[in-house]
Amino acid sequence: MRPAAVAMATAVAQKGQMNDILRRHEADIYALLRIVTGFLFLWHGMEKIFGFPEAPPAGAPAFILWVAGPIELVCGFLVMIGLLTRPAAFLASGLMGVAYWLAHGTRALLPILNQGELAVLYCFVVLFIAARGPGRWSVDGGGT
């Protein structure tokens, strides 16, 4: 057998093994995604409401601080623990969609140009969580 063919056969076998491992741990990986996303999201609310760990963004309107902040804090916490996951994640997704168009989309269309990547990522990751539900390691999912 030629060395290139051996290398290709090895790569295909390793890809199959990696896919098997990822498939076997898919529920755990999703749970980590949900928990970490909720944890990171809630800190945006902490910052807006309590000024911790940093002060709120300079020049942020009171509306943003007192409407978006509580939604970020509460929905982030609920998503993290997996309680009322679908409605909390759906609300958070909508908030991030509105945040993108209010704070970023008016400056430029593309997120790379208007610093809106984080809002877009949160919008679609929490939308995915809303669609998929609480999953494993959650209050709603019963730990399965």
Distances (CA, A) of 112 to 99, 104, 115, 116: 15, 10, 6, 7
Whether 142 maps to a domain, the answer reads no
* CB atoms near residue 143 (< 10 Å): 9
Whether 107 maps to a domain, the answer reads yes
* pLDDT tens digits along 47-89: 999 999 999 988 888 988 999 999 999 999 999 999 999 999 9
Whether 14 maps to a domain, the answer reads no
* pLDDT tens digits along 86-138: 999 999 999 999 999 999 999 998 999 999 999 999 999 999 999 999 999 99
In which band, very low, low, confident or very high, does the pLDDT at 38 lie, cut at 50, 70 and 90? very high
Element counts in the chain: helices (H) and strands (E): 7, 0
Whether 2 maps to a domain, the answer reads no
Domain extent for 66: 26-132
Whether 19 maps to a domain, the answer reads no
Whether 95 maps to a domain, the answer reads yes
8-state DSSP, 137: S
Number of domains in the chain: 1
The sign of the dihedral angle between the CA atoms of 25, 27, 28, 29 is positive
Whether 137 maps to a domain, the answer reads no
Distances (CA, A) of 10 to 15, 17, 77: 9, 11, 44
Is the overall model pTM greater than 0.85, yes or no?
Answer: yes
In which band, very low, low, confident or very high, does the pLDDT at 9 lie, cut at 50, 70 and 90? low
